[in-house]
Amino acid sequence: MSNPPAFDTSPFELWIGTNYSPTDRELAQLKAFLDKPYRQLASLDADLLSLLQKRDELNSTIHAHEAFLNPFRRIPNEVFLEIFKLSMPRNHNATMSLGQAPLVLIQVCRSWRDIAMSLPQLWSSLHIPFLDGSPEFARFHAARVTGWLARAKGRTLALSLWSDPSYNSPESTKILVEALAVYAPSVKSITMETSATVLDVLSTTIPPTTFTLLEAIILKRVGSVHDASRRRPGLIKIHDLDIWKAPKLNTIEWISVGANLHSLPVQWDQIKEISISNRALGQVPD
Indicate if the pLDDT at residue 284 is higher than 70.
Answer: no
What does the pLDDT read at residue 239? 83
Indicate if the pLDDT at residue 228 is higher than 80.
Answer: no
Measured in degrees and rounded to the nearest 5, phi and psi for residue 132 equal -65, 145
- Structural contact between residues 273 and 267, judged by C-beta atoms closer than 8 angstroms: no
What does the pLDDT read at residue 235? 53
pLDDT band at residue 230 under the 50/70/90 scheme = very low
100-121: pLDDT as tens digits = 999 999 999 888 899 899 999 9
Global pTM reads 0.71
Query: Length of the chain in residues, anyone?
Result: 286
Residue 89 burial (CB count, 10 A): 15
- Structural contact between residues 253 and 222, judged by C-beta atoms closer than 8 angstroms: no
What does the pLDDT read at residue 27? 92
Give me the residue spans of the domains in the chain.
Answer: 24-68, 124-277
Higher pLDDT, 225 or 240: 240
What are the helix (H) ranges across 68-134? 77-86, 110-117
State how far Cα 64 lies from the chain centre.
Answer: 28
List 127's β-bridge partners, or say none: 160
What does the pLDDT read at residue 279? 63
Q: What is the mean pLDDT of the chain?
A: 88
What does the pLDDT read at residue 175? 97
- Structural contact between residues 212 and 247, judged by C-beta atoms closer than 8 angstroms: yes
As a whole number of angstroms, the distance between CA 40 and CA 38 comes to 5
Task: Give every strand in the sheet of 125-129, ordered side by side.
Answer: 125-129, 157-162, 187-193, 216-220, 251-255, 273-277
Indicate if the pLDDT at residue 231 is higher than 50.
Answer: no
DSSP for 195-223, written as a single string: -HHHHHHHHHHS-GGG-TT--EEEEES-H
Residue 126 burial (CB count, 10 A): 21
Average the pLDDT over 36-57 and give the result: 95
61-94: pLDDT as tens digits = 999 998 888 887 788 888 888 899 899 998 899 9
As a whole number of angstroms, the distance between CA 116 and CA 167 comes to 34
Average the pLDDT over 18-35 and give the result: 91
23: left (phi over 0), alpha (psi -120 to 50) or beta: beta
As a whole number of angstroms, the distance between CA 125 and CA 216 comes to 14
Share of the chain above pLDDT 70, in %: 89
What does the pLDDT read at residue 236? 61
Average the pLDDT over 259-286 and give the result: 77
